Amino acid sequence: MTIYRNFICALTATLFFTSTYYLLLPALPLYLTEQGLDNFSIGLIMGIFSVTSLLLRPVSGRLIDLKGRKGIMFIAIGSYLLSPLFFRLGTGSLVMGLVQILFGFAIGSFTTAITTYVADIAPRHLMARFIGRHSIAIIIAKGMAPALGLALAVRYGFPLALGLSICIALLSVLFVHRLEEPPLSTSSNSVSTSFREIITTKMILLPTITLFAGLITFGAINVMLSLFAAAREIPNPELFFVIHTLTVIATRLITGKLPGSSLSAQVIFSMLVLFLSLVLMSQVQQFWQLMAVAVIYGIGYGAIYPALSSLLILSTPDHLRGTALGIYTAGFDLGVATGAVLAGLSEFIGFSMAYLVTALIPLLGLLLFVALYLPAVKKTAGTDLSE
């Protein structure tokens, strides 16, 4: 029962702390506009969050292995709580850029640390279930918090949205404090292994590249959806996100019940579905077709992360788990960003061709997974077995 109590605390802490930034995500641009910043400056400022999160995840992952999971969680929350002090310094581009760096470090470090913690407490044969259900908390936070933050900012102003964000961050401290952290690995390898050796390890690098290839689809579809729908004159494209999110949640609840021996098959299936989603997206002309893609893509996106994450975790030594997840989740962020850039090719070759070209990348990722990663997994005792 202790495992499940800790898991519930981890879920709640994740839901609360992830919500803090996403409350401000739609509200901050409005606030900066009121302060006189132009759209280009605001775009650069908002982009700093993603870049910081991407670059610092591997670093924070290394610290998680060396210093412990809860310690990094508290540092991340503390960093976030410093943000109101920066707002008092002004709203210039430099100050707001520093705030975004702070936010990027806080959210990136916290989510890496809490995911590593969940992997620590999860029984091996239930790894995909724990990882998948934990990720649902992040999905809910990213889905609900922006709507609440925008409503507060529009009706009552940005200070109230910021205040609520800080209060939620403080609440997350209570749940992190209740987590019972397993003993930190005392292996001398955790210190002697260089970061370069870790990042080039086949069992970490290959799943990271596979996730990167799969998550390019997210950036290609979601980021450019409004422009795609406008070009095809498809009404109510916002419903895509609703259907997609519900499908992802349902998929992760269902796949979490599958045996551990099916993890590799789940990854193969997911990558094929992600490839198919982009091919179908290139042909969408009507509303019902867009909703069908939302369901199909939701299944692929929902299944890939917990299955591939579990393979990574189960084949990585405990003393390198935080670093591995830091590198791996950076691949997630980079894939989304790259997908958005590739979708931008639609300006020159049209949406249909841009999606078809992008669809080749998850297919290449699948070939890499089958040809190079699967043989390595099968050599790792207990990795892909239900124990």
Looking at the structure, tell me whether residues 216 and 166 fall in a common domain: no
Has residue 314 been placed in a domain?
yes
What pLDDT, on the 0 to 100 scale, is given for residue 25? 82
Looking at the structure, tell me whether residues 279 and 314 fall in a common domain: yes
Summarised one tens digit per residue, pLDDT across range 70-113 is: 999 999 999 999 988 887 777 677 888 888 889 889 999 999 99
Looking at the structure, tell me whether residues 151 and 241 fall in a common domain: no
Kindly state the tokens that stand for 1. 């029962």
Looking at the structure, tell me whether residues 280 and 344 fall in a common domain: yes
From 157, 179, 201, give the residue that closes a domain.
Answer: 179
The CATH number that applies at residue 108 is 1.20.1250.20
Kindly state the tokens that stand for 76. 């991340």
Has residue 383 been placed in a domain?
no
Cβ neighbours around 308 below 10 Å, total: 27
Q: Where are the alpha helices (DSSP H) in 157-177?
A: 158-177
Looking at the structure, tell me whether residues 62 and 157 fall in a common domain: yes
Looking at the structure, tell me whether residues 165 and 205 fall in a common domain: no
**Concatenated DSSP letters for 180-207?**
-PPPPP--THHHHS-HHHHHT-HHHHHH
Looking at the structure, tell me whether residues 169 and 229 fall in a common domain: no
Looking at the structure, tell me whether residues 269 and 316 fall in a common domain: yes
pLDDT in tens, the chain (387 residues): 589 999 999 999 999 999 998 888 888 888 888 888 887 787 788 778 878 888 888 989 989 988 889 999 999 999 999 988 887 777 677 888 888 889 889 999 999 999 999 999 999 888 989 999 999 999 889 878 888 888 888 889 889 999 999 999 999 999 999 999 887 665 545 556 677 777 778 889 999 999 999 999 988 887 678 788 888 999 988 888 889 989 999 999 988 777 767 899 999 999 999 999 999 999 999 999 999 999 999 999 999 999 999 999 998 888 889 999 999 998 888 888 788 788 878 878 888 998 999 999 999 999 999 999 988 877 764 444 444
What pLDDT, on the 0 to 100 scale, is given for residue 387? 41
The number of angstroms, rounded, from the C-alpha of 175 to the middle of its chain's C-alpha atoms is: 21
Looking at the structure, tell me whether residues 160 and 274 fall in a common domain: no
Q: Measured between alpha carbons, how far is 346 from 225 in angstroms, rounded to an integer?
A: 12
CA angle 298, 303, 306 (to 5 degrees): 130
Looking at the structure, tell me whether residues 21 and 130 fall in a common domain: yes
From 145, 179, 213, give the residue that closes a domain.
Answer: 179
Has residue 351 been placed in a domain?
yes
Has residue 341 been placed in a domain?
yes
Residue 243 lies in domain = 191-378
What pLDDT, on the 0 to 100 scale, is given for residue 1? 57
Looking at the structure, tell me whether residues 89 and 60 fall in a common domain: yes
How would you label 16-38 residue by residue, b for 16+ Cβ within 10 Å and e otherwise?
Answer: bbbbbbbbbbbbbbbbbeeeebe
Has residue 96 been placed in a domain?
yes
Has residue 185 been placed in a domain?
no
CA distances from 337 to 213, 215, 222 (A): 11, 9, 11
Q: Helix 158-177 vs helix 2-24: angle between axes, to the nearest 10 degrees?
A: 160
From 129, 144, 179, give the residue that closes a domain.
Answer: 179
Q: Measured between alpha carbons, how far is 122 from 3 in angstroms, rounded to an integer?
A: 7
Domain count, the chain: 2
Has residue 387 been placed in a domain?
no
How would you label 84-108 residue by residue, b for 16+ Cβ within 10 Å and e otherwise?
Answer: eebeeeebebeebbbbbbbbbbbbb
Looking at the structure, tell me whether residues 170 and 198 fall in a common domain: no
What pLDDT, on the 0 to 100 scale, is given for residue 192? 60
Has residue 184 been placed in a domain?
no
